[in-house]
Amino acid sequence: MLPNTLGELELCVVSEICQAPGIDARRIVEKISQHHPSTLSTIQSTLERLVRKGMLDRTKQRQAFSYTALVSRAELLGLLMKDVIGLLHDGSPGTILSSFVNVASRIDTSALDHLELLIRNKREQLEKQHGGNNDDA
């Protein structure tokens, strides 16, 4: 496992909480039992770790805690990608970008068009922030 990456069960739990904010541990066990059979105590320990890692917030609801994600799915994906890139990066940004474009092209035919749009929007955003000078972009 990568140093800052979440484990498979942690990812599954965060994903469920992103889909159902305010969910409690018992409901998480029910929702993931088909793919990740786990006991209530295992899920509670996992939730505690995720709270300590700053990924979740919890609120006391009668006798149980309910949980909400402090990161979006997009932020979570970004963290995971950062870890993988950090592990495999060979020093050349071209390797990362080429790999990303290859993966995007396999998603579906419109993924590359969407990627172009995202790049264009990011450039416009950076130009506005830097007054038209995006040398550091």
Which of these CATH numbers, 3.30.70.940, 1.10.10.10, 3.20.20.60, 1.10.760.10, describes 8-69?
1.10.10.10
Q: To which residue do tokens 């994906």 refer? A: 77
In degrees rounded to 5, what are phi and psi of residue 24? -105, 175
* 11-46 tens-digit pLDDT: 899 999 999 999 999 999 999 998 889 999 999 999
- Among 12, 19, 71, smallest CA distance to 47 is for 12
Tell whether the model's pLDDT for residue 4 goes beyond 80.
Answer: no
- Residues of each domain in the chain carrying CATH 1.10.10.10: 8-69
- Among 23, 12, 13, smallest CA distance to 47 is for 13
| Strand ranges in the chain using DSSP code E only, listed in sequence order | 23-24, 56-61, 64-69
* 85-134 tens-digit pLDDT: 878 777 788 888 888 888 888 988 788 899 899 999 999 999 999 876 54
Q: Running DSSP on this structure, what letter comes out for residue 11?
A: H
